[in-house]
Structure 1
Amino acid sequence: MKTPLTPLAPVLRALSVYPQRPALIDTSGGATLSYAELADRAARLATLLREAGLPPGGHVMLLSPNNADALTAFHAVPLAGGVIVPLNPRFRDAELAFLSAHADPVIALVDAAHLPRLEAVLHERGVPVFSIGPGGDLASRLARVPPTPLAVPDTLAEDDPISVNYTSGTTSDPKGVMLTHRNVFLNVTNMLYHLNLRPGSVFLHALPFAHANGWGSVWAVTAAGGTHVMLPDPGPAPLRAAITAHGVTHLCASPALLAPLADTAAPLPLPHPVRVMLAGASPPPRLIGSLQAQGFEVLHGYGLTESSALVTLADPTPELQALPEGEQVRLLNWQGYAMLLAGQVQVVRDDGTPVPHDGTTPGEIVLRGNQVMKGYYKNRAATRRAVQGGWLHTGDVACVHPGGRLEILDRAGDLLNVAGQPVSSAQVEAVLYRHPSVREAVVVAAPVEGGDAPVAFVTLHSGAQVQGRELLAFARPHLPAHALPTRIVFTPELPKTASGKVLKYVLREQAREQVMGQPAD
């Protein structure tokens, strides 16, 4: 017998098997839900969506920070037969207005704080809107409708989309990644296995749900019977408070989000080990070492929204833990091996042949397997560019070390051309990160005659003082002369997305307009 592979099956099992377990803690308001209460809310929201006209496969737009209503939506929408379309609240109003049309929603769930940004646009298009979150009226609406019996929809096929995830808010080439039930089932299984999620796990949602469905954690934590801890504001203070106050055992986050925890002057006391999955950018080795010293078990993953999030992993295996600490950190800083069910991960030359496993030859990461997206919604041209010859082309440049470990060198667009020679911005950043005063370092290109000039944007730890000439002197023995930054710009904070990724295009513009041609210090 063959039935559709869908994350809804393990989700329904958990909702049935663990009715008394704590399902959710909301750090912003202190609200808690048991699994029985989460199941009831999801069942009632499914009723509400169907009464509002949701057809099988209909799109339900979600605009919300991480909170109880947003998590309920991730369960209720696909159980009602719909497709959830989470938009990032940090997109600009014009971008949200464009994507709210491009996504073709038949219903919109909008956090009350963000409703003024889109209410008129959605009303003009005739899209029913439910106001959710603090100040919304979803709770009163749910109280007036009966719960729908929860079951996998009869019409569901495993290659049907479960979500459409927009990778940016751009209006020029919108990329709404269609992830299928099959894609997400495999992703959830990988998360359960590699993160070791179990009943009793307490997972902190520091990563916005809009970012690849929280890397699949919205369904994986429920499938495990764990507790979801909502973190609407992932700032340093709320993050630290949530980890210690709620007995957190697991979290996923970008290195930039966890960078404040690397401040050795303010270590975070942990009553028990916390397993943390880093991904989104290569973490500086000092961040990994600092987290380990505080009691975090660090895993380092890699993936894209187009691959249902994570597909490779470097984790603290017993073999790795037997190595000296410095060697452990070095290997954890690489992207490791393909995850259990990720499929094929290769690094290839321009002609499509695999690179040798020598730790130096660069190539592009390409992926093939059950986690690769169905395609971009209403953008066949972008789909054809991304998936060629049966492989998803990531645009990420990497090498493969002896033994098969993957190490990302840069995004294809982030490689600098300095005096005719390629320079990896990540390698320059890694050297700057070694300085004890540096909290974050990002290197971008400023265009100059004959190529690019490396420009470094640096934030410092609290109380640290260092000048640009000192950092250059520190970096000089570790880099070829042409790779040294032509200027170091100190800034209190780096511009970032809601998921903690640095907005390099903003820094490139600053480098181009403000610092091009100026001395290093």
Structure 2
Amino acid sequence: MKTPLTPLDAVLRALALRPERPLLEEGGQTVSTAQFAGRTARLVTLLREQGLTSGGHVLLISPNSGDALLAFHAVPLAGGVIVPLNPAFGDEALRFLSGHADPVLALVDAAHLPRVAEALHKSGVPTLPIGAGSTLAGRLAGVAPAPLALPDRLDEDQPISINYTSGTTSDPKGVMLTHRGAFVNLANMLYHLDLRPGSVFLHALPLAHGNGWGCAWAVTAAGGTHVTLPELTPERLRAALLTGRVTHLCASPALLAPLADAAAPLSLPRPVRLAVAGTSPHPRLLGTLQAQGFEVLHSYGLTETSALLTLTDSADLAGLPDAPAVLARQGHPMIFGGQVRVVTPGGAPVPPDGATPGEVVIRSNQTMKGYYKNRAATRRALQNGWLHTGDVACVHPDGRLEILDRAGDLLSVAGQTVSSVEIEAVLYRHPSVREAVVVAAPGEGGGGDDLPVAFVTLHPGAGVQPRELLDFARPHLPPHALPTRIVFAPELPKTASGKVLKHALRAQARARAGGAVGD
């Protein structure tokens, strides 16, 4: 017998077990499994009454909230495809993507509804306000609960979600993640995060970002408790961790960097299992997090791979003399991650020498179905059964992957290829540096050479000067790789998911061309 692979099976099992256990904590209130299951069943009814049929797209625009989690459970159980858009996208992007996604229904947080209400009305898309200040609770009370069961004729190869990787209107990439891929992601997260009944998971990532790296479903499936903080700041993250309630966390280096401020040391009251992924974190940051009590998993993945796909587990590195450097690598494929290779432009595997760069290509059950209504981008990404990521990496003798850069982020300096990550890693060694990002500015005379420009944020109270940082970096870098300018900034421009907007920094670097070492 063959039944479709979907995370919904595990979700339904969890909703039927231990009805008294806490499933959600929000704003000081606790929602039991029985209460959450009842709300889910009623929302399934309401969605169908609003016209949702099998395969219909349901737009979700909401910060991390109990109602958003409710949507992640009810929409696919009603047979729909959830399309979460990060409210941190700009108004124009939200309006554009709200149309591009072809929704039949929209669930929009009441605070963000004015941003898209007119566009949805013109498109004839019914809208259900959710979140604080909405009438969702009253509307749910007025409908009968639907039986909680898998949708009829569920196809594991059909999308469970469409996740937009950015808010751009020029080349929209709505990643279609399937039930099968989400199931494999669920299995990986349950195993590697060691989620269990009683786990308390703090949602620091936007749920719109790869479905919270799949944890929208994984935490429920494990019998754990979701903790939501709709407006997450470094201060609120710190306060939540200091309660001693949180056992698990997924976060980007940008969100974690403020926790490493030496002027405000953090000591966790209990160990917290942490999956960190995104831009490559410096070993110093990872080491600080370990010293604070985090059990660090350093991962790599893309929205196109249902989020995380590889990892290095700090627990596996005990006794290694170079453990901090190894933890900074993105590691091996997860237990069900599939095949991850690093290849030359001709397609041959690079030697495992820890130096030769190549492109990361992936063949995995977690790989996307394609980009919604973007065949050209799908053809570029999926070639001969492999996902071409555009990420540049090397492979170490122990088989671990190390991301070096995006293909477009490598610099050509004095006729040599330089990784911006290599320069950033040196700058990160300085104790005053909180974030460091290196981009290319055009060289003089239009000869094609790049000039490395470093944009740096500092820990509060740090008094280092640009020339001091340059002198600090000089012994650790070849002369051609030294930044030509170091620009201090209070904050770096970031995407809605916390990744640095390098194109914005490149534009600044071009505008500042010819400036001094320090700006």
1:205-235 deviation per Cα after TM superposition (whole angstroms, max 9, x unaligned): 0000110101000000000000101021221
1:386-407 deviation per Cα after TM superposition (whole angstroms, max 9, x unaligned): 0011100000000000020111
Q: How does 1:73-92 map to 2 (within 5 A)?
A: 73-92=71-90
Contact residue 244 and residue 270 of structure 2 kept, 8 A: no
Contact residue 311 and residue 339 of structure 1 kept, 8 A: yes
Q: 1:345 aligns to what?
A: 340
Q: 1:14 aligns to what?
A: 14
1:115-142 deviation per Cα after TM superposition (whole angstroms, max 9, x unaligned): 0001111111111100001111111111
Q: 1:512 aligns to what?
A: 510
Task: Report whether the alignment pairs 1:135 with 2:153.
Answer: no
Q: How does 1:415-430 map to 2 (within 5 A)?
A: 415-430=410-425
Contact residue 244 and residue 269 of structure 2 kept, 8 A: no
CA distance in 2, matches of 1:342, 1:211: 19
CA distance in 1, matches of 2:82, 2:254: 27
Q: Helix, strand or coil: the match of 1:435? A: coil
Tell me how many residue pairs correspond in the alignment: 515
Equivalent position to 2:361, from 359, 366, 385:
366
CA distance in 2, matches of 1:227, 1:243: 15
CA distance in 2, matches of 1:43, 1:121: 29
Contact residue 277 and residue 300 of structure 2 kept, 8 A: yes
CA distance in 1, matches of 2:79, 2:61: 19
Q: Helix, strand or coil: the match of 1:292? A: helix
Q: Helix, strand or coil: the match of 1:62? A: strand
CA distance in 2, matches of 1:222, 1:150: 15
Q: 1:492 aligns to what?
A: 490
Q: Helix, strand or coil: the match of 1:321? A: coil
CA distance in 1, matches of 2:77, 2:476: 55
Task: Report whether the alignment pairs 1:399 with 2:402.
Answer: no
Contact residue 79 and residue 153 of structure 1 kept, 8 A: yes
CA distance in 1, matches of 2:395, 2:254: 25
Contact residue 469 and residue 520 of structure 1 kept, 8 A: yes
Q: How does 1:457-476 map to 2 (within 5 A)?
A: 457-476=455-474
CA distance in 1, matches of 2:244, 2:35: 20
Equivalent position to 1:31, from 21, 29, 32:
29
Equivalent position to 2:405, from 407, 410, 427:
410
Q: Helix, strand or coil: the match of 1:113? A: coil
Q: Helix, strand or coil: the match of 1:105? A: coil
Q: Helix, strand or coil: the match of 1:407? A: strand
Contact residue 15 and residue 39 of structure 1 kept, 8 A: yes
What residue identity is the alignment partner of 1:419?
A
Which deviates the most, 59-68 or 84-93? 84-93
1:411-462 deviation per Cα after TM superposition (whole angstroms, max 9, x unaligned): 0011011122111001100000000111110111112232211111111111
Q: CA deviation at 1:246?
A: 5.7
What residue identity is the alignment partner of 1:180?
T
Q: Helix, strand or coil: the match of 2:380? A: helix
Contact residue 244 and residue 268 of structure 2 kept, 8 A: no
CA distance in 1, matches of 2:274, 2:161: 25
What residue identity is the alignment partner of 1:13?
R
Q: How does 1:184-223 map to 2 (within 5 A)?
A: 184-223=182-221
Contact residue 264 and residue 290 of structure 1 kept, 8 A: no
Q: 2:238 aligns to what?
A: 240
Q: CA deviation at 1:245?
A: 2.3
CA distance in 2, matches of 1:89, 1:246: 29
Task: Report whether the alignment pairs 1:441 with 2:436.
Answer: yes
Q: 1:2 aligns to what?
A: 2
Contact residue 358 and residue 400 of structure 1 kept, 8 A: yes
Provide the alpha-carbon RMSD of the alignment: 0.9
CA distance in 2, matches of 1:268, 1:75: 35
CA distance in 2, matches of 1:470, 1:434: 13
What residue identity is the alignment partner of 1:354?
P
What residue identity is the alignment partner of 2:405?
D
Identity rate, percent: 72
TM-score, with normalisation over the residues of structure 1? Answer: 0.98
Q: 2:371 aligns to what?
A: 376
What residue identity is the alignment partner of 2:18?
Y
Equivalent position to 2:260, from 262, 280, 284:
262
TM-score, with normalisation over the residues of structure 2? Answer: 0.98
CA distance in 1, matches of 2:20, 2:510: 57
CA distance in 1, matches of 2:262, 2:15: 41
1:330-368 deviation per Cα after TM superposition (whole angstroms, max 9, x unaligned): 111000001011110000000001001111110000000
Q: CA deviation at 1:498?
A: 2.5
CA distance in 2, matches of 1:18, 1:345: 39
Equivalent position to 1:354, from 349, 355, 373:
349
Q: Helix, strand or coil: the match of 1:317? A: helix
Q: Helix, strand or coil: the match of 1:335? A: coil
CA distance in 2, matches of 1:176, 1:417: 32
Q: 1:323 aligns to what?
A: 320
CA distance in 1, matches of 2:293, 2:187: 26
